[in-house]
Amino acid sequence: MKKALAAAAIAAAGMAYAGEDAVLSVEGQDFVTKTAAPAHTENLSEIYSGWTFRSNETQALQLDDFDNPAFVFVDQAIDLWDAAEGSAGKACSSCHENVEDFAGLRTQLPRVDDGELVAMEDLINECRTERMGAEPWKWSGGQMTAMTALIGLQSRGMPMSVSIDGDAAPFWDKGKELYYTRVGQLDMACSNCHEDNYGVMIRADHLSQGQINGFPTYRLKNAKLNSIHGRFKGCMKNIRATPFKEGGEEFKALELYLASRAQGLSVETPSVRN
Amino acid sequence: MAKGVKPRVKVPKSAAAGDTITIKTLISHKMESGQRKDDDGNVIPRSIINRFTCEFNGQNVIDVALEPAISTNPYFEFEAIVPEAGEFKFTWYDDDGSVYETAKAIAVE
Amino acid sequence: MALTRRYFLVTGTGALAAAGLGLPALASATDDAIAAFTGGAPVADGGVTLTAPEIAENGNTVPIEVDAPGASEIIILADGNPLPGVATFMFGPMAAARSGSTRIRLAGTQNVIAVAKMEDGTFAKAQAAVKVTIGGCGG
What is the predicted pLDDT for the residue at C57? Answer: 87
Give me the mean pLDDT over the A100-107 stretch.
97
Identify the closest residue of chain A to B73 by CA–CA distance: A69
Q: Does residue A75 contact residue B8 with C-beta atoms inside 8 Å?
A: yes
- Confidence band (pLDDT; 50, 70, 90) for B51? very high
In chain A, residues with a C-beta closer than 8 Å to the C-beta of C63 are: 57, 60-61
Half-sphere exposure of residue A206: CA atoms within 13 angstroms, side-chain side: 33
Q: Does residue A77 contact residue A83 with C-beta atoms inside 8 Å?
A: no
Mean pLDDT rounded to a whole number for chain C: 84
A170 prior amide bond cis, ω within 30: no
Q: Is the pLDDT of residue A99 over 80?
A: yes
Which region among A72-81, B1-10, B16-25, C47-56 has the lowest average model confidence (pLDDT)?
A: B1-10
Give me the mean pLDDT over the A168-195 stretch.
97
Distance (Å, whole) CA C108 – CA A165: 49
| CA–CA min distance A219, chain B (Å) | 11
Q: Measured between CB atoms, which of A201, A220, A238 is closest to C138?
A: A238
Distance (Å, whole) CA C109 – CA A82: 45
CA nearest to C83, candidates B68, A17, A20: B68
- Confidence band (pLDDT; 50, 70, 90) for A19? low
* ipTM value: 0.93
| CA–CA min distance C1, chain B (Å) | 34
Identify the closest residue of chain B to C91 by CA–CA distance: B62
DSSP per residue over A69-81, as a string? TTHHHHHHHHHHH
Give me the mean pLDDT over the C21-49 stretch.
84
Which residue of B48, B49, B71, B73 is the best one to mutate when testing the A interface, meaning the one whose CB has the most A CBs within 10 A? B73
CB atoms A72 and B75 under 8 Å: no
What is the predicted pLDDT for the residue at A55? Answer: 87
Share of chain B above pLDDT 70, in %: 96
Distance (Å, whole) CA A116 – CA A168: 9
In chain C, residues with a C-beta closer than 8 Å to the C-beta of A9 are: none
Q: Does residue B12 contact residue B85 with C-beta atoms inside 8 Å?
A: no
| Degrees, nearest 5: CA angle A84-A90-A91 | 55
* Whole-model pTM over 0.80: yes
Which residues on adjacent β-strands are paired with residue C114?
Answer: C76, C126
Q: Does A238 touch chain C (CB under 8 A)?
A: yes
- List, in order, residues 6 or more apart from A240 with CB less than 8 Å away: A184, A185, A186
What is the predicted pLDDT for the residue at A2? Answer: 42
Which region among B97-106, C8-17, C116-125 has the lowest average model confidence (pLDDT)?
A: C8-17
Q: Is A95 a catalytic residue?
A: no
Q: Measured between CB atoms, which of C54, C58, C137 is closest to A202?
A: C137
What is the predicted pLDDT for the residue at C136? Answer: 61
Q: Which amino acid is at C126?
A: A
Q: Measured between CB atoms, which of C53, C54, C58 is closest to A221?
A: C58
CB atoms C97 and B76 under 8 Å: no
Q: Which chains are adjacent to chain A, needing at least 3 Cβ pairs under 8 Å?
A: B, C
Indicate the DSSP class of residue A145.
Answer: H
Out of A95, A127, A190, A235, which one is annotated catalytic? A235
CB atoms A57 and C53 under 8 Å: yes
Cα C36 to Cα C44, C50, C85, C93: the distances in Å are: 16, 21, 12, 25
Q: Does B72 touch chain A (CB under 8 A)?
A: yes
3-state secondary structure string across C10-70: HHHHHHHHHHCCCCCCCHHHHHHHHHHHHCCCCEEECCCEEECCCEECCCCCEEEEEECCC
